[in-house]
Amino acid sequence: MQECMDAIAFEQNPASTTAALRITAESLGGEEFKADYGVRYAYLTGAMYKGIASTKSVVAMAQAGLMGYFGAGGLRLEALESAIRTIQAQLRDGQSYGMNMLCNLEQPEVEERTVDLYLKCGVSRIEAAAYMKITPSLVRYRLKGITPGANGATHVPHKVLAKVSRPEVATAFLQPAPPEIVSKIVARGGLTPAEADLARLIPMADDICVEADSGGHTDAGVALALMPAMMRLRDDMMARHGYAKTVRVGAAGGIGTPQTAAAAFVLGADFILTGSINQCTVEAGISDAVKDLLQEMNVQDTAYAPAGDMFELGARIQVLKRGLFFPARANKLYELYQRHNSLDEIEPSVRKQIQEKFFRRSFEDVWTETEDYLRRTDPKKLAEIESNPKRKMAAIFKWYFIHSTRLAMEGNADQKVDYQVHCGPALGAFNQWVKGTATENWRNRRVATLAEMIMRGAAAWLNQRVDSFVQSELRRQTLPLASR
Rg for the chain, CA atoms, rounded: 25
Q: What confidence tier does 5 reach under pLDDT thresholds 50, 70, 90?
A: very low
Question: Which of 175-179, 277-281, 463-467 shows the lowest mean pLDDT across its residues?
Answer: 463-467
In angstroms, rounded to a whole number, what is the distance separating the alpha carbons of residues 158 and 406? 33
What residues have CB less than 8 Å from 25, skipping those under 6 apart?
Answer: 41, 452, 455, 456, 458, 459
Instruction: Please tell me the distance from the alpha carbon of residue 478 to that of residue 484, in angstroms, as a whole number.
Output: 9
- Please give the pLDDT value at position 482: 54
Q: Is the pLDDT of residue 335 over 60?
A: yes
Residues 202, 205, 210: CA angle, nearest 5 degrees: 140
What residues contact residue 415 under an 8 Å CB cut-off, 6+ apart? 360, 407
Q: Which tens digit of pLDDT belongs to each residue from 161-206?
A: 999 999 999 999 999 999 999 999 999 999 999 999 999 999 999 9
pLDDT at 100: 97
Q: What is the pLDDT of residue 240?
A: 97
Q: Cα(35)–Cα(39) distance, rounded to whole angstroms?
A: 7
Q: How confident is the model at residue 151 (pLDDT cuts 50, 70, 90)?
A: confident
Determine how β-strand 316-320 pairs with β-strand 216-217: antiparallel
Instruction: Tell whether the model's pLDDT for residue 344 goes beyond 80.
Output: yes
Per the prediction, the chain carries an average pLDDT of 93
Higher pLDDT, 479 or 393: 393
* C-alpha span between 455 and 277 (Å, rounded): 14
> For residues 393 and 452, what is the distance between their CA atoms, to the nearest angstrom?
48
Report yes or no: 136 and 187 within 8 Å, Cβ to Cβ.
Answer: no
Q: Collect all residues with Cβ–Cβ distance below 8 Å to 240 and sequence separation of at least 6.
A: none
The burial class, CB within 10 Å (0-12 / 13-18 / 19+), for 454 is buried
pLDDT tens, position by position, 354-381: 999 999 999 999 999 999 999 998 899 9
Distance, CA of 272 to CA of 253 (rounded, Å): 9
Q: Stretch 197-225: mean pLDDT, rounded?
A: 95
> Is the pLDDT assigned to residue 300 strictly greater than 90?
yes
Residue 4 is predicted with a pLDDT of 37
- Residue 469's pLDDT is what? 84
Q: Which tens digit of pLDDT belongs to each residue from 242-266?
A: 999 999 999 999 999 999 999 999 9
- Spatial distance between the Cα atoms of 16 and 467, rounded to a whole number of angstroms: 11
The predicted pLDDT at position 3 comes to 38
pLDDT per residue as tens digits for the range 224-234: 999 999 999 99
pLDDT band at 13 (very low <50, low <70, confident <90, very high): low
Q: Which domains does the chain have, with CATH numbers?
A: 24-286 (3.20.20.70), 290-428 (no CATH)
CA torsion 445-58-209-296 (nearest 10°) is 20
- At a CB cut-off of 8 Å and minimum separation 6, what does 176 contact? 199, 200, 201, 202, 203, 204, 241
How far, CA to CA in Å, does 300 sit from each of 6, 303, 315, 416, 478? 43, 8, 21, 20, 45
Residue 327 has pLDDT above 70, yes or no: yes
Rounded mean pLDDT of 141-163?
91
User: Which residues in 243-264 are b (16+ Cβ under 10 Å) and which e?
Assistant: bebebbbbbbbbbbbbbbbbbb
Confidence of residue 63 (pLDDT cuts 50, 70, 90): very high
For residue 2, what pLDDT is reported? Answer: 42
Orientation of helix 108-121 relative to helix 77-90, angle to 10°: 20
Question: How far is Cα 56 from Cα 50, in angstroms, rounded to an integer?
Answer: 14
- Mean pLDDT lowest for which of 44-48, 153-157, 222-226? 153-157
- How far apart are alpha carbons 73 and 59 in whole angstroms? 18
Residue 19 has pLDDT above 80, yes or no: no
How far is 473 from 25, CA to CA, in rounded Å? Answer: 26
- Which is nearest to 286 in space by CA: 56, 22, 115? 56
Nearest alpha-carbon partner for 419 in 400, 396, 398: 400
Residue 483 has pLDDT above 80, yes or no: no
